[in-house]
Each structure stands twice: as structure tokens, then as C-alpha cells.
Structure 1
């Protein structure tokens, strides 16, 4: 049921209005009950950082935020003393916001083209939310009673509900190709693997230029380019990065007869579990022309010393091949070149750099290497 929670969060967009023209955005907020002088902040998530766009203090249950942005996008509003943050799409227009302090997600926005799109979309989301809450409660009761038949039935009902949700998303994006929300929905879909690559390209191609020029639109365009460049049969894009000693290493400089590009991280449990298998394959086939270059996605906010964690993992797991990392987590430019959304992830390339296979592990990896080098 976790997927529906994150889905609902991203779906509760509050859209800008067109009440009065401004050079930038103007957010006029009214609250039903909150302390004077409480802090209000508008921010966006930029990689691992939080970037404050504007902030102010509440005065007599009202506040005003203003600024100028390049393109419409999703931002978040927080109010001191109120639980949670409110996602909203901000564009350079006037937004009238009514905040309900008992539930920030129930806040109301009036006006604007994007808000009209949102209201249509939100009607379906409200039904999904109600059904999801009902299923969650029934699921808890069934687990308490150890009613396996009921649990199975509820899981099927949940799957049907999510299929309806996916169909609604697809229908919305297809019909509303000029809506910023459509771009945000498609951007979210990139990490769920629910849509075939050809369908993603088709939807994006149908988007209005306004949507293509948003941040989400540009992310989708980069995804499409990277996916085309890293398809089986394509020549893998060259890349370079610093090794643990700070020396720059490029893929084209270390290629063997067969090369494994291995995306991993010290913090990644499945990666560390797979490492002994990769070590075994490397020791067996390195003399026959196998090379490996590990690309670490260390650099999470939780790592106090990401570089040391990376180096320690290399030593502990006895990974004696080439390694590079920009220590930027999933924002690593190499990860973006290869559309890496989860790890472990591997690419097999031949001596000319052509991609032969993807994401082979364990016996499947060894069997493929044996086939290619024996």
C-alpha cells in the first residue's frame, strides 16, 4: 500500500490562478487558525538540497509570497506549526490559497488553467484515496484474523485499483497535452517502469512546447535520449570520472574484449550481496579479456564521509577492478547518461563498445561471460 501514499502526495497539486497579471508569481494565503508570526516557506527540491524560493511571517491569519520562476513546476509550502508540506504547481501568476490547518492537503486554490486541469484530475484521486483507505483498513483486519483468502482478494482489488489509476493517468496525459501536470505525471512514470519506452516517446512527442520546456519536460527528453543511447545494440556512451585516488578514468581507456559497467554503492545491500559473484567472474575471466568498471552512486545525505565509505567497501569486498564516482548519489552524471533509477545495474559491452546485455546477475552473468569469452 506504500505506493498509493507517495502517489497521493504527488497528486495533490494546487495550481496557480490568473486573477491578476504579475511579472512573477504572487501567492496570497489565508488561514483558518494559526499563530501570528508563524514562518511560511516556499521551496523546491533540487537534488539532495532544499532551495528556499521565498519566506514570510503570518500576520492576522494571512501571508504573501512572491518571486519569479523560469517555468511552472512543483513546489512545496510549509507553515510553522502545521504538520506536513503542501505541494503546489507555481507559475508566474497570482494564486489565492486558503489553508485549512487541520489538514494542509485539503487546502483550496482558485483560478488558472492549471488549476482547472488539477480539479478534473483530483476528482479521480479523491475516489482512489477513499478506496485505498478502505482497503488498508480491511487489509489490517484480515492480517489480524490471518484470513489468507481475504488478504488475497484485497490484493487483487488493490491491483485492479492501481490499473484503473494507471489508465486514468494515461488518459489524462493524452487528452491534456498542454498541461504542466501531464509532464509531471509522465516524469513520475519514468521511475515506475509502468510504460513501455515507445509509449513514453509517443506521449512526450504529443506534448505542447510549453510542457516540453518545463523542468519535467526536459527530464523526460533527457530520459528518452539516454534510453535510446543505452539500448541493446547501441554503442555505450563514453564517460569519465575520478577514481578513489582522484585520477580521471574513462570507459574508452579501459575497455577489454568484454567490459562490465557496474553501477553500485557502499550503502546498497543488494549490490554488496552480489559483489562476491562479480569477484568470482572477474577472477575467472579477467585473463581472457574481461574488464570491469564500477560506478559508485555513493554520496547520500546520510553518509558522513561518502568517499571513505566507498573506499572501505571496495577494500572489504575485494573489488580489484577500475572504479569511478562523482559521489553525487543518483544525480551522478554517469548514472543520468545510463538512465539509472535503481541499483545494482549492469551493462555488458564488447570491444567496440556495443551494448550486449543489461542487468545480468549471479549465474546469468557468469553464463553470458562464459559464452562470450570461451
Structure 2
């Protein structure tokens, strides 16, 4: 543990120097792949406005991405080995998540992104040190759990007690990781990974009392950054959206361009549903929402769908394809959606059930839990 912290401390000055540059170049070399193999690259600048969705053919195993970057970016890179498209590559294929700075570096592997080795990225080296301190990435912890389950005998895998044991170890590792992230953020207030750590911790916490002082001690440039401000709002939103609190009002344009306010729906029971056209779990829930909407709309039930899309056509196409008849709004700012920030949304789907009096009844009810709650309210 001490050696890891020393490595991390040694990398901080190098990261500061990397941030003085304004461009990045990522060169990949994955085996000897050729078209139709294609790499999809989505990144967001954590500290400033900026980001991009990009893609490139893989020619003789090689691809390159370049761009302008002031701070530190978080990204997802997915490789469609057989040209099967972005969605398949992201959700069932070869995808990795990492952070990088305004620097030149390479990603190389004989066969896949998942096995790639990074060279030349000081930010990624710092990220590796950070992950060692906190006990690995979420994907690594999930991979361990899957490996434990797969290592079981057929009899064990069919045993609910075996499943509970594997799940229990997974949950403990995740809880230990969150605790380590909070300690890391407290001890390294001048690291961008302190900001990242706190942001992840707030995703699973409902009590912010021990998070607030750690956030307040962060380096000012992180607190005043785009992600820092979003994190501040997420911390505040825990109280703003607690059951019994009056749901924060907002106004946003509908598909037709006309403004819609949450307060306009006062007197109805409203499901405020945050979703996006690119979110498979969101769209998988739509058939159930349609059924519930048909059952209770005449009794005062309404759904206000807030899309985290940035492309109007994709948003409208998803509404039409899924045949979802309720009210839809979006500011087309993606993860910068102002209502999403107001409500502390860090992932979709995310739902808030609001009573006729405008007060929050519950959060993240979906599937059978939502159905049971609606039945209780409208019986």
C-alpha cells in the first residue's frame, strides 16, 4: 500500500506538466485487423466544456484519434471487430473505459482493447495507481464475481446459497472500494482522481454528511470545474429530492419546441423519468411504462420523460419507434441536461415519483416495484 501511494505521489508533478498542453493524440495498434473493423471513441472533458463522439476504421491494426483538451478527459473506447456497429461493440463487445490528458500515447495489443497496454500517458499511469489504492475498477470487481461464479460446479451454480455467497463478496468489495475512495479523496485533495472518486461515491450514497467536508476541501479548480459543480448539485439534490421534499421545478422544451414545466402537472401523480435513446435498459422498460400509463392515466397518472439525448432526430425516432405517448422534454445537452443536473442524475434510467401535491413519493421505482406502488396509489 505504501509503495502504491509513493508511486501516485510521484506522478502528480508529471500530470501537472501534461495539463499545460492543449492537444492529445491516441494511436492504437490492435493485431492486424482491417475494415470492417472500427473503433468508436466517446470522450468528455471533466473540468471544462468539451467532448466528442468519434470513430475510425482499423487499417492493418492501426487507428488514430486527435483532439483539443484543456483538462482531463474520461472516455469509452469500443472496438467492433467485425463491423457490427457501435451499440453491439459497447454493450456486448470489446470496450474499455479510461482517463487521459492532453498528451500523446499509444494503446497496443495482439488481439483486443480489453488486453491493451498503455504507453506514454501520465494520466493513465496515475489512474492505475489510484485503482490499486481503492481496490480496482468496478469492471474489475464485476469480472472477479463472474469468474467466481463460472468456477463453480454446475450444482453450485444452481444453488441459491452459492449465488448469495458470490453476490455477498461482490457487494463487500464494492463497499470497501467506496470507503477507500472516500479516504483517497480526503488524503489527495489536489488530484483530479479525488474528484472522480467523490463523484462515484455519491452514486451509491444517500447520506452526504461525511462527503460534504471532503468535497469542500478539494482543490478550488476541481470544485469550480464543470464536473465539480455537477457533483455539488448532486450532493445537494439528495436532500432536494428526498421522499417528502417538494420536487424541484424546471421548465424545458418539448418535442414541438414549446416549454413544459413540472409545476404544470401539479394535481397529477407524475413519474419523472430520465432516459435516452441510446440507453438500452431505459427502452427495455418502456413496454411496462406504456402498460402502466394506459392503466392509470385516466386516474391522474402522468409521465414526464426527460431525455439526455443531444441529437433531436435520434430522440424523436426513439419516441416514435417505441410508441411512448406521454410528455417528452429535453434541452439536448446530453449529460449536461439541466434537469438531470438539478436532480443529481448520474445514470439512466432514473425515476422520481411525485405526488399530486408536488412532493417526492419515491425514487428509482421500476418494473414490479413501480407497478406495486402505482397499484397502491390508485387502488
> If the TM-score is normalised by the length of the shorter chain, which range does it land in?
0.5 to 0.7
The Cα shift of 1:366 comes to 7.0
Counterpart of 1:173? Answer: 185
Change (3 A) 1:139 1:279: farther
Once the two structures are superposed, what CA deviation does each residue of 1:178-204 show, in whole Å capped at 9, x if it has no partner?
22223233333444x345333443442
The Cα shift of 1:262 comes to 1.9
The Cα shift of 1:296 comes to 1.7
Q: Say which one has the larger Rg.
A: 1
The Cα shift of 1:64 comes to 7.1
Mapping 1:5-44, distance limit 5 Å = 23-27=21-25, 29=27, 31=29, 34=32, 43-44=42-43
- Aligned pair partner of 2:223 in 212, 215, 222: 212
Contact kept? 1:263, 1:345, Cα under 8 Å: yes
- Aligned pair partner of 1:91 in 101, 108, 132: 101
Determine whether 1:196 maps to 2:207. Answer: yes
Counterpart of 2:111? Answer: 102
Determine whether 1:271 maps to 2:289. Answer: yes
The Cα shift of 1:119 comes to 2.0
Residues in 1 aligned to 2:375 and 2:212: alpha-carbon distance in whole angstroms = 34
Residues in 2 aligned to 1:251 and 1:158: alpha-carbon distance in whole angstroms = 39
Contact kept? 1:44, 1:51, Cα under 8 Å: yes
Contact kept? 1:17, 1:115, Cα under 8 Å: no
Counterpart of 2:7? Answer: none
Contact kept? 2:38, 2:55, Cα under 8 Å: no
Residues in 2 aligned to 1:50 and 1:234: alpha-carbon distance in whole angstroms = 35
- Structure 2 unaligned segments of length 5 or more: list them: 1-10, 83-92, 276-281
Residues in 1 aligned to 2:16 and 2:216: alpha-carbon distance in whole angstroms = 28
- Aligned pair partner of 1:347 in 345, 354, 379: 354
Residues in 2 aligned to 1:56 and 1:293: alpha-carbon distance in whole angstroms = 45
Residues in 1 aligned to 2:194 and 2:58: alpha-carbon distance in whole angstroms = 33
Change (3 A) 1:55 1:154: closer
Contact kept? 2:181, 2:201, Cα under 8 Å: no
The Cα shift of 1:67 comes to 3.8
Residues in 1 aligned to 2:191 and 2:201: alpha-carbon distance in whole angstroms = 16
TM value normalised by structure 2: 0.63
Counterpart of 1:278 in 2: which secondary structure? Answer: helix
Change (3 A) 1:84 1:226: same
Once the two structures are superposed, what CA deviation does each residue of 1:304-344 show, in whole Å capped at 9, x if it has no partner?
7244357x543xxxx7xxx3423869855434433354354
Mapping 1:45-64, distance limit 5 Å = 51-52=52-53
TM value normalised by structure 1: 0.64
- Aligned pair partner of 2:342 in 318, 333, 337: 337
The Cα shift of 1:347 comes to 1.5
- Aligned pair partner of 1:122 in 110, 125, 132: 132
- How many residues are matched? 329
